A and B are shown apart, each in its own frame.
Chain A
């Protein structure tokens, strides 16, 4: 290789070096391909997130069951159930005294009954509002 050979090669490639490839819609097609690629990546990510969410739910349920059995959770359930039954029994035994008009003369009992009635009315109103909203959303 001598200086003339180098010049010859440089001269040969000189025009090619200045040659530009026309776009001819390549950039537009390219950006469409990028958008498709991103949509595909987004779909894959969504599927993987759903899969992870499902796996996490399964894991939590399994962990909760393990903790429940290890800490003998059924005993707590049994104690709560017996307590609830006792409360219901006491309530049923004391219901007749609420309708004993002679005891209503006591101011403290009147206040208690009034509060209970007020709470009942408020609960009813709130329930009606909630049901109305739910019904309107369904429509």
Chain B
């Protein structure tokens, strides 16, 4: 079901160029978008904020392309995913000593900005996944999107999303068991 408030705000931005309406959308969605980037970048808050800013600017400049066939949040996350994908591609064209398979994910360190043991644990756990698996897992288990919505966001076939989720969950389950989370 489409969110009427979002549609109303998007209409005000697209038709009237109302920046206050866009400000309301930013306030509403800044948390899920920044959280998505935090999980993709291993908790790099500066990079996450920069990517989130790019996402919202792209959303503002292309808001007339939003047709309302999907939720605004799904459309916004699709932009966020594309921004992240473009960033990874740009980074990978430059020579890096790190393992390419991990994308731009920087494994969390104990001395970093941390933000609590929970966040550290989640980022450590996510570090064992491949970028696509990580994206699918976070979109489903943290942001609560369905497989159909994840397929729309990432532009992957549903079967591919399911296999990424399955492999990712298997790796995570093994990781959690190995680290004693089962007993908590």
Contact = CB atoms under 8 A, between A and B. Distances in A.
A and B pair up: yes
Interface of A: 1, 5-6, 8-10, 12-13, 15-17, 19-21, 23, 26-27, 29-31, 33-35, 37, 41
A37 B61 contact: yes
Contacts of B38: 21
Given A12-B181, A13-B122, A19-B35, A6 B57 contact: no
Contact of B169 (A1, A20, A29, A41): A1
Nearest first, the 6 closest Cβ-Cβ pairs linking A and B are: A5-B173, A13-B141, A21-B31, A21-B34, A27-B26, A20-B31
Given A1-B173, A5-B173, A17 B26 contact: no
A68 B154 CA distance: 61
Contacts of B56: 30, 33-34
B169 A6 contact: yes
B52 interface: yes
B60 interface: yes
Band of interface residues on B: 35 or more
Interface of B: 19, 22-23, 26-27, 30-31, 34-35, 38-39, 49, 52-53, 56-57, 60-61, 118-119, 121-122, 125, 141-144, 166, 169-170, 172-173, 176-177, 181-182
Nearest to A34: B60
